[in-house]
Structure 1
Amino acid sequence: MSKIRLMLVDDHEVVRLGMRAAFELEPDITIVGEASNGAEAVAKVGVLAPQVILMDVRMEKMSGIEACREIKSRDPQVNILMITSYTDERAILASTLAGASGYLLKNVSRAELLKAIRRVATGASLLDPKQRQQALTTATANAPKEAITEREREVLALVARGYTNKQIAEGLSMSEKTARNHVSHILEKLGLTRRSEAAVYAVEHNLVPPRQSQQHEEKNK
């Protein structure tokens, strides 16, 4: 029987120790590693190859929601279960849009948490599909196009052309980290989860001027 590869992400060591103690004796779960913040989780996920990530929502350096969005954009197959101490409707919506498979409070029982981990490990979601689709539709419809800066419009245009962060950085003379941050901010402002959704938004809202796109393409050849 293959075990569920679980990664723990929380900025409190005591919490991580408690989680580890709760799962270590489960025969179908193996803890492949830990991270103390979102940035560390993003950096480690490619090496640890977790099947499920149990991720705290609020952390320094990079929040769980930002990390969730970044991880899902890199590997959609990773299943992320958000967990927090507080009920926050906006955080629930943001987690949903970021691609999380579920959202639980830390006072959930051990049995319920184990059930949730096993469920999302199969690729299932704890979120109602209709509610998720409604959240995506509402966020996209209400996305404030005016909130996007001119620089972000340039980045978004290249995202719509299928450029990677590295190619965007080269095309717009910026660091790859800056390009990645721009993409993350754009997704957050538009209330979207994936680059492909941002590309569709850009096309639908005529944010991809053909001449500008062509110039960038020629520059990157």
Structure 2
Amino acid sequence: MSKIRLMLVDDHEVVRLGMRAAFELEPDILIVGEASNGAEAVAKVGVLAPQVILMDVRMEKMSGIEACREIKSLTPQVNILMITSYTDDRAALASALAGASGYLLKNVSRAELLKAIRLVATGVSLLDTSRKQQAIRLATTGLSSRPGEDLTEREREVLALVTRGNTNKQIAEQLSLSEKTARNHVSHILEKLGLSRRSEAAAYAVEHNLIPPRQNQEHN
């Protein structure tokens, strides 16, 4: 029996270990490798030749959505199943635009996740036509009309500090946050803006005037 070649991509090692444990005893699934971020996944996909990639949405260095877009442009035959801990319609729509075959929450049952993997392996898309049409419509209208409109006040503060060249540690110190919380804020900002790098976020913030006036003045 031909096995489904599965690649696991998540920036948390414990999560990858859990997924591996959930799948490796399945007779029709072969785990061909792992990656800890989107950039690593893009680099490895040509060597590992997976049939299906199970990929986290939120990761540093390169988000799952950006990695999905790049992988699909390089190897369109690979089927990508996005998985996340957060309910986020924008991320789901961005995943559809990037070429993902599905978008699931991490609290899905093992049986449902296995079913999804087996379905996308056959080329079936779990993203219905209405979702794809909505993604295209929002990408060409609503999402681009008011840049950064869904950033929280705290995320705007973090973005201003990113624009000024601060590291996650420096952001944490200035805003009295843990470094992990600062890192999560940066990751959420990149995902909401549809970007993959801090430098891109900084340029975007200046271009679209997303920095609070006082901080913008300091930056200049």
TM-score by length of 1: 0.64
Unpaired stretches in structure 1, ≥5 consecutive residues: 148-187, 190-221
Measured against aligned partners, the alpha-carbon deviations of 1:171-218 in whole angstroms (never above 9, x if no partner) come to xxxxxxxxxxxxxxxxx59xxxxxxxxxxxxxxxxxxxxxxxxxxxxx
Unpaired stretches in structure 2, ≥5 consecutive residues: 148-193, 196-220
AA paired with 1:27? Answer: P
Instruction: Note if 1:134 corresponds to 2:146.
Output: no
Map 1:43-192; keep pairs closer than 5 Å.
43-141=43-141
Specify the alignment match of 2:186 in structure 1: none
Instruction: Note if 1:34 corresponds to 2:34.
Output: yes
Q: How far has the Cα of 1:142 moved from its partner?
A: 5.4
- Taking the aligned partners of 2:109 and 2:138, their CA distance within structure 1 comes to 32
- Taking the aligned partners of 2:54 and 2:138, their CA distance within structure 1 comes to 27
Secondary structure in 2 matching 1:50:
coil
Q: Which runs of 4+ in 1 moved over 2 A?
A: 140-145
- Counting aligned pairs with the same residue, the percent is 84
Q: How far has the Cα of 1:141 moved from its partner?
A: 4.8
Specify the alignment match of 1:16 in structure 2: 16
Specify the alignment match of 1:208 in structure 2: none
Report how many aligned residue pairs link the two structures: 149
Q: How far has the Cα of 1:75 moved from its partner?
A: 1.1
Q: Is the 8 A contact 2:93 2:131 kept in 1?
A: no
What is the root-mean-square deviation of aligned Cα atoms in Å? 1.9
- Taking the aligned partners of 1:131 and 1:66, their CA distance within structure 2 comes to 19
Q: How far has the Cα of 1:131 moved from its partner?
A: 2.2
TM-score by length of 2: 0.64
Q: How far has the Cα of 1:134 moved from its partner?
A: 3.2
Measured against aligned partners, the alpha-carbon deviations of 1:157-176 in whole angstroms (never above 9, x if no partner) come to xxxxxxxxxxxxxxxxxxxx
Say if 1:50 and 1:138 are closer, same or farther in 2 by CA, change over 3 A: same
- Taking the aligned partners of 2:68 and 2:14, their CA distance within structure 1 comes to 22
Secondary structure in 2 matching 1:8:
strand
Measured against aligned partners, the alpha-carbon deviations of 1:64-119 in whole angstroms (never above 9, x if no partner) come to 00000000011111100000111011111111111111111111100000000000
Specify the alignment match of 1:162 in structure 2: none
Specify the alignment match of 1:5 in structure 2: 5
Specify the alignment match of 2:166 in structure 1: none
